[in-house]
Amino acid sequence: MTTATQSIDAVVVGAGFAGLYMVHRLRDAGFTVQGVDAAGDVGGTWYWNRYPGARCDIPSLLYSYTWSDDLRDSWRWSEKYATQPEILAYAEHVADRYDLRRSFLFDTKVISAVFNEATGRWRVETDGGRVFDARFCIMATGCLSVPRVPDIPGAATFKGAAYVTGQWPHEPVDFKGKRVAIIGTGSSAIQSMPLIAQDAAQVTVFQRTPNFSLPALNAPLTDEEVAAFNEAFPIYKQLLDSGEPGLPLPPKGWVPTDAELAALVEQLWNGGGLISAVMIPDLVKNERINDAAADFVRAKIREIVKDPVLAAKLSPDSFPLATKRACVDTDYFASYNRDNVTLVDLRDTPIEAITATGVRTSDADYPADIIVYALGFDAMTGALLNIDIRARDGLALRDVWRDGPKTYLGVAVAGFPNLFTVTGPGSPSVLSNMLNSIEQHVDWIFDAIQHVQTTQSAVMEATLAAQEDWVAHVNDEADQTLYPRAASWYVGANVPGKPRVFMPYVGEGYKKRCDQIAADGYPGFALSR
């Protein structure tokens, strides 16, 4: 059923942390805004990924909005790394506190966004037949919001229960006494397997590529830790505002000796949590450093996993550490010491098919009552390209991005006026604490929209020249690192047919650059009346 077109200032697609904050900022400033999400409620990632063990891998105190002291004072995380239900509750708390749900349509998918050259406005259509006529269109559609569903032959013939981690049911899944096949060994599988193994009769993990994973060493957050964080918060916020990561990092320019490096990696391992590119100097640029850190993790795997053959199979050897996002786990490697957990190395015996009764590899049939697909996402571009986005002269985003995404700053695309992407490809996004990057982008987009208003412009649009320079710079920065060596979702390697382009921005000083562009009156953008 098609209803009357509703004329508003802005459409925001997505009700995750990006969409919630964007709607809040715009509405607070008096804009008329319509949010839309395919989900039944707010939360985005944390609405969909309800698999056992799902948690953040950035400490909860940092994986939080920083834009409101009141909000911060009204929330108390219970653990160092919060569970999915707690993070979802946080998103719900934000929605309640700022009365955001009334601005959203849920269970509704945006299917197209078409720019009308004559009116300078976007026509945004949903699968329910709702049409919005909006001046601004903000895509807060998420970098990891299009889960890969099984394309393995025979998947539809399986007679047991099958679950995709990124589309997990709302009711608990009972694994007790069941034979469970888990396909994939990325973060989602690595988080869920140990908990599933505690209940299931038998767990068989199908591994195509072994992965680096580090212990979370999760623990309840004490009042002292929360108080210390709150006390240091002004400094943290100041660092973020000035474009620094806000984390205690090694000094810039320090090239550690082998001994210093060994001590640093040991210290990071013992502290728990993610080892990312920023925590070890030159980790993703210097092979010596990367090899040493990777060897350290492999030695730890050998220490934890009792069977040396199994330890070798679980040891990543095909890409440098952190060039695929490293995982953070609780008892992942130790769970392979359990009698009820088996690894099938798909490099020796690839999956041939899913059958009615389980998984068939080149040398055996593995019967299963439940299959858990933890196959990852069509990352960074998937959600944007799922929408038919068209602008000037019928230009389709799907065509413009045929050979890989092209943006200016990851926030705008030349030829697509008044359309903004939160944490889009070409921005640091998935390589950062996403909550910080989301806030930075939402604030920047909000200021840009205000600028369009105050200059009485009709539209703001990235110029092709600025976009080409930015894309070249993004590629150049990536080429100076080890990242392109990994067949990762950062380069689209996990989706058959997807162009191989390194999508996030790995250079330094991103926020400073964005702020300078805003301060200078948005060079690289054309404003027209």
Query: Which stretches within 210-286 are classed as H helix?
Result: 223-241, 258-271
Query: Applying CB under 6 A, does 503 fall inside the site for ligand FAD?
Result: no
Residue 9 touches which of ligand FAD, ligand NAP, none (Cβ within 5-8 Å per kind): none
For the chain, report the end-to-end CA distance as a whole number of angstroms: 35
- Euclidean distance between CA atoms 403 and 422, whole angstroms: 21
Q: Which is nearer to ligand NAP, 185 or 481 (by Cβ)?
A: 185
Q: Which stretch binds ligand NAP (CB under 6 A): 33-41, 124-132, 180-188, 408-416?
A: 180-188
Burial grade of 180 (CB within 10 A; 0-12, 13-18, 19 or more)? buried
Residue 494 touches which of ligand FAD, ligand NAP, none (Cβ within 5-8 Å per kind): ligand NAP
Query: Applying CB under 6 A, does 110 fall inside the site for ligand FAD?
Result: yes
Query: Applying CB under 6 A, does 208 fall inside the site for ligand NAP?
Result: yes
Q: Which stretch binds ligand FAD (CB under 6 A): 17-25, 225-233, 305-313, 517-525?
A: 17-25
Rule CB under 6 A: choose which of 95, 351, 359, 435 binds ligand NAP.
Answer: 351
Query: Applying CB under 6 A, does 313 fall inside the site for ligand NAP?
Result: no
Task: Tell me which residue has tokens 């002291």.
Answer: 69
- Euclidean distance between CA atoms 244 and 429, whole angstroms: 14
Query: Applying CB under 6 A, does 14 fall inside the site for ligand FAD?
Result: yes
Residue 184 touches which of ligand NAP, ligand FAD, none (Cβ within 5-8 Å per kind): ligand NAP
- Euclidean distance between CA atoms 281 and 82, whole angstroms: 28
Q: Which stretch binds ligand FAD (CB under 6 A): 52-60, 288-296, 355-363, 508-516?
A: 52-60
Query: Applying CB under 6 A, does 186 fall inside the site for ligand NAP?
Result: yes
Query: Applying CB under 6 A, does 18 fall inside the site for ligand FAD?
Result: yes
Rule CB under 6 A: choose which of 33, 139, 146, 152 binds ligand NAP.
Answer: 152
Query: Applying CB under 6 A, does 329 fall inside the site for ligand FAD?
Result: no
| DSSP annotation of 491 | G
- Euclidean distance between CA atoms 489 and 283, whole angstroms: 19
Burial grade of 49 (CB within 10 A; 0-12, 13-18, 19 or more)? buried
Query: Applying CB under 6 A, does 375 fall inside the site for ligand NAP?
Result: yes
Task: Tell me which residue has tokens 């890969």.
Answer: 148
Rounded to an integer, what is the distance from CA 105 to the centroid of its chain? 23
Structural tokens at position 346:
């798909």
Q: Which is nearer to ligand NAP, 37 or 329 (by Cβ)?
A: 329
Residue 412 touches which of ligand NAP, ligand FAD, none (Cβ within 5-8 Å per kind): none
Sign of the torsion angle spanned by Cα atoms 266, 271, 277, 278 = negative
* Binding residues for ligand FAD restricted to 172-211, rule: CB under 6 A: 188
Closest CA to 9 of 110, 121, 127: 121
**How many CB atoms are closer than 10 A to CB 364?**
10
Query: Applying CB under 6 A, does 45 fall inside the site for ligand FAD?
Result: yes
Query: Applying CB under 6 A, does 381 fall inside the site for ligand NAP?
Result: no
Query: Applying CB under 6 A, does 387 fall inside the site for ligand FAD?
Result: yes
Residue 13 touches which of ligand FAD, ligand NAP, none (Cβ within 5-8 Å per kind): ligand FAD
Q: Which stretch binds ligand FAD (CB under 6 A): 45-53, 263-271, 286-294, 467-475?
A: 45-53
Coil, helix or strand at residue 317: coil
Parallel, antiparallel or unpaired: strands 419-421 and 131-139? parallel
Rule CB under 6 A: choose which of 213, 423, 427, 457 binds ligand FAD.
Answer: 423
Residue 383 touches which of ligand NAP, ligand FAD, none (Cβ within 5-8 Å per kind): ligand FAD
Query: Applying CB under 6 A, does 19 fall inside the site for ligand FAD?
Result: yes
Rounded to an integer, what is the distance from CA 75 to the centroid of its chain? 23
As a three-state string, the secondary structure of 83-128 is EHHHHHHHHHHHHHHCCCHHHEECCCCEEEEEEECCCCEEEEEECC
The answer to whether the beta carbons of residues 14 and 44 sit under 8 Å apart is yes
Quote the least distance from Cβ 91 to ligand FAD, whole Å. 9
- Euclidean distance between CA atoms 410 and 427, whole angstroms: 5
Quote the least distance from Cβ 60 to ligand FAD, whole Å. 9
Query: Applying CB under 6 A, does 489 fall inside the site for ligand NAP?
Result: yes
Burial grade of 184 (CB within 10 A; 0-12, 13-18, 19 or more)? buried
Q: CB neighbours of 399 closer than 8 A, spacing ≥ 6?
A: none
Q: Which is nearer to ligand FAD, 141 or 494 (by Cβ)?
A: 141
Residue 407 touches which of ligand FAD, ligand NAP, none (Cβ within 5-8 Å per kind): none
Query: Applying CB under 6 A, does 265 fall inside the site for ligand NAP?
Result: no
Structural tokens at position 45:
């990632």
Residue 351 touches which of ligand NAP, ligand FAD, none (Cβ within 5-8 Å per kind): ligand NAP
* Binding residues for ligand NAP restricted to 111-150, rule: CB under 6 A: 144
Rule CB under 6 A: choose which of 211, 433, 440, 467 binds ligand FAD.
Answer: 433
Coil, helix or strand at residue 496: coil
Contacts with ligand FAD by CB under 6 A: the residue count is: 37
- Euclidean distance between CA atoms 474 and 138, whole angstroms: 22
Q: Which is nearer to ligand FAD, 158 or 377 (by Cβ)?
A: 377
Quote the least distance from Cβ 9 to ligand FAD, whole Å. 19
Q: CB neighbours of 76 closer than 8 A, spacing ≥ 6?
A: 221, 226
Q: What is the contact surface with ligand NAP in residues (CB under 6 A)?
A: 55-57, 144, 152, 165, 183-189, 191, 206, 208-209, 325, 328, 346, 351, 374-377, 430, 489, 494
